[in-house]
Amino acid sequence: MTTRLWSGGLKGRPAEANEESTAAESPQGKGQMDSTDSTAQATAGISTIEQTVIQNQAIEAIRLCYDPEIPVNIYDLGLVYDVAVAPDAAVTVTMTLTSPHCPAAQSLPRDVEMRVAKVQGVASVRVNVVWSPPWNPGMMSEAAKLELGF
C-alpha cells in the first residue's frame, strides 16, 4: 500500500459560485455587463475547474523533476506533499527532500518552481520545503518502488 500525503485539496470558491455567469442587462442595451458585475468577476478569481486544471498540469510539470541520484521523478518518489492552487492562480507546492543533507537541496526546489511557473495560467509559485513528516520509502508510488526494486 502506498501512502500519499498529497492532499489534492483546493482552496476555492463555493460550488454555487462556479456556475457560469450571465451578462447583466444594462440600460445601454442587451448583453452588456454592468461595470460592478465585471469588477466582482475580476476579483473573484479563477473557477475551481481552472484550479484543478492548473493543479494537474503543475503535477505533470513536477513529474519532470528528478533527483540527480535517483532515476524516478520526485512526485512518484513521494517528495511532494501538496500542490495547492488559490483562486488568484497562485500555486503553492509543499515538498520535502530525502534528507536535510541531500546534495540537490538547492537545485530541486528551484527546478520545481521554474517548471510550475511555465504552466499556462499560473500567476505565481511558492515552494515550501518541509521536514515534517520526514520522507521515507513508504511514500513512494508503486511505480517508483518497482523501478527502484522495492
Mean pLDDT is lowest, of 32-36, 46-50, 112-116, for: 32-36
Residue 143 has pLDDT above 50, yes or no: yes
Residue 103 Rama label (left phi>0; alpha psi -120 to 50; beta): alpha
User: Which carries the bigger pLDDT value, residue 104 or residue 47?
Assistant: 47
User: Which carries the bigger pLDDT value, residue 30 or residue 19?
Assistant: 30
What pLDDT was estimated at residue 43?
55
Structural domains for the chain: 15-148 (3.30.300.130)
Residue 5 has pLDDT above 70, yes or no: no
Q: What is the pTM of this model?
A: 0.70
The residue whose grid cell reads 486544471 is 53
